[in-house]
Structure 1
Amino acid sequence: MNILIIEDEPLAARQLRAMLQDYDPMITVLDVLDSVAASVEWFQTQTPPDLLLADIELVDGQSFDIFSQVAVRCPVIFTTAYDEYALRAFQVHSVDYLLKPIDEAALRRSLTKFGEMQRLYGAAHPALNLRELLATLGPAPTAPPDYRDRFLIKQGARLVPVEVADMAYFYARDGLTFVRTYDARDLLMDYTLDELTDKLNPKDFFRANRQFILYNKAVGRVHLHFNGRLKVDLKPPIDEEVFISRDRAGAFRAWLGE
């Protein structure tokens, strides 16, 4: 199988190449491209690969820009740090959508899924249209997500209801999860940050990193930091620095309304 990689981070590209070889030594990586311009030129002059692995945010734009400039006649697995592009990705022959950092097991599942789709739809037409892809993913949800607007929090021998609107941010420390309220109380939660991510409205809350989930009203000043990172001042303040990685910075700024 011939695979093309579009990825502007050299380390991530090397890791993808290594994981592909571990999955199947017969895989050939045709090239590794790091920009929209280089990718458009490649597709204009080369035979399409069997599969494309593409990051979304590139040095000169988004990989979606490639599809608007040249015909890409192959299925795609997107590898990205952003989760807000999923539906758009499925409109351009996407087989799967993997969030960075890429887990080897998740990549293996995607490649296996691609193989199953080839067998199901025919090797001559491996790329799926949106309707076919959504059918493989199961029935669409019939109701919007039921996000929490309050939590019962244990305080001594009592269970106290606390409104989500009173919660500034959630943070993990020493294996425990806490919420800091706007009146600067630190309350122990019975959920992990991963569990809370599914219970909170993403319009209001943002998973900043492995340690913090932030409410938008708790974000004070945002400082540009080196290597493309952002440093965030919180309200109320906390005695540790909160950073947004380069990979998450674009999504964070969009969430804040940039």
Structure 2
Amino acid sequence: MTILIIEDEELTARKLQRLLLDVEPAATIVGTTVSVDESVDWLRTNPQPDLIFMDIELADGQSFDIFGRVSVKSPVIFTTAYDEYAIKAFRVNSIDYLLKPIKEEDLRQALAKLQAMRQTLAGPGQKERVLPDTLQQSLLSLLQQWREVSPVDLPAPVATMQSPSPFYRDRFMIKQGQRLFSVGIDEVAYFVTRNKMSFLKTRDSSEWLLDYTLDELAQMLDPRRFFRLNRQIIAELGAVDKVHLYFNGKLKVNLRPAFEEEVIVSREKAGEFKQWLGE
């Protein structure tokens, strides 16, 4: 099986590659791309792989943009920290939709699902394959694992399925030289990523390196208290000092302690952010 990985966080891409080779030793990673533009160029100049793992939020846009610029005939497994894109993901060649951090068992199930669909959709004497124009009939059942969807109209409003109460982190272990200590969640102002490294910023302005990506952190934090403002910052509610209207429907956020750069919430996330603040 040949696999293309589209993922703009280097650490996440390396982890996924290692996990894939553990689960599917015969797999060949034929490429890794980090942006919409680079992915489009790769797909235009290389044979279609057997499978694509595709992060949704890339540095230069959402990976859904790739489908509008180049023909993607390969089946796709989306990887993301957000479940808000589920319906849109299943309108394209999606086999599954894995939330980060990706667990080995979830990956095994996704690959098994791909194999089962190949066998089902292949005709007598044909090579096992997945045909994009027949996938849509199979995707509704996959999507129902995540949402309760109207059987008549896939884009209809959906309701979150009942699930056990999640476990959220209440502290993080910090390593400083030979010293180990923990920082309680009540001490955290925000998490930030710089140069592909993640840091925890405390209310007293201390900053500590963490061994998690922001995508992974997003799954560990209580969404009632923490909000991912953009690709660089996850902020705690009490760290939001002021919010200003910005151009094109965006919002500008002042944090406490102050962040060294402008913190902008996109127009697409502005409404959700205001609801989180209690609008």
- How many residue pairs get aligned? The number is 189
2:53 alignment partner in structure 1: 53
**Is contact 2:3-2:52 (8 Å) kept?**
yes
Q: Note the C-alpha offset of 1:134.
A: 1.3
Question: Structure 1 residues 75 and 257, CA, compared in 2 at 3 Å: closer, same or farther?
Answer: farther
Task: Identify if the C-alpha distance between structure 1 residues 231 and 112 changes in structure 2 by more than 3 Å, giving closer, same or farther.
Answer: same
Residue in 2 that maps onto 1:231: 235
Structure 1 counterpart SS, 2:224: strand
**Deviation, structure 1 residue 62:** 0.7
Counterpart for residue 32 of structure 1: 32
What TM-score, normalized to structure 1?
Answer: 0.61
Is the Cα contact below 8 Å between 2:3 and 2:51 reproduced in 1? Answer: yes
1:255 and 2:272 correspond:
yes
Instruction: State the alpha-carbon separation in 2 of the partners of residues 65 and 213 from structure 1.
Output: 27
Q: In the alignment, is the contact (CA less than 8 A) between 2:117 and 2:130 conserved in 1? A: no
Q: Judge conservation of contact 1:79–1:99 (CA < 8 Å) in 2.
A: yes
Secondary structure in 2 aligned to 1:129?
A: helix
Equivalent residue runs for 1:118-133 within 5 Å: 118-122=118-122, 123-127=128-132, 128-133=134-139
Deviation, structure 1 residue 140 = 4.3
Query: Aligned equivalents of 2:131 and 2:3: distance in 1?
Result: 14
Write the distance in 2 (CA, Å) between the matches of 1:41 and 1:61: 15
Task: Give 2:121's aligned amino acid.
Answer: Y
Displacement of 1:223 in angstroms is: 11
1:212 aligns with 2:229: no
Contact 1:52 1:76 in 2 (8 A): yes
Q: Which string of whole-angstrom CA distances, capped at 9 and with x for unpartnered residues, describes residues 71-95 of structure 1? A: 0011100000111111111111100
Residue type at the aligned position of 2:220 = R
Instruction: Give the TM-score normalised by the residue count of structure 2.
Output: 0.57
The CA distance in 1 between the partners of 2:160 and 2:140, in whole Å, is: 22
Match of 2:111 in 1: 111
Deviation at 1:20, TM superposition (A): 1.0
**Structure 1: runs of 5+ lacking an equivalent:** 149-170, 175-206, 236-240, 242-248
C-alpha distance in 1 between matches for 2:228 and 2:85: 26
Report the CA distance shift for 1:59/1:125 in structure 2 as closer, same or farther (over 3 A): same
Q: Which amino acid aligns with 1:125?
A: V
Unaligned runs of 5+ in 2: 123-127, 152-156, 163-167, 172-216, 240-255, 257-264
1:90 touches 1:133 (CA, 8 Å); kept in 2? yes
Q: What amino acid sits opposite 1:17 in the alignment?
A: Q
- Structure of higher CA gyration radius: 1
> Which deviations, in whole Å up to 9, do the C-alpha atoms of 1:148-191 show, x marking residues without a partner?
9xxxxxxxxxxxxxxxxxxxxxx8769xxxxxxxxxxxxxxxxx
Equivalent position amino acid for 2:140 in 1: L
Tell me if the contact between 2:4 and 2:30 (Cα under 8 Å) persists in the aligned partners: yes
RMSD of aligned Cα (Å): 3.9
- Pairing of 1:118-157 with structure 2 (within 5 A): 118-122=118-122, 123-127=128-132, 128-135=134-141, 140=149, 145=159
Q: Which residue identity is paired with 1:210?
A: M
2:135 alignment partner AA: N
SS in 2 for 1:15: helix
Alignment of 1:137-216 (within 5 A): 140=149, 145=159, 210-214=220-224
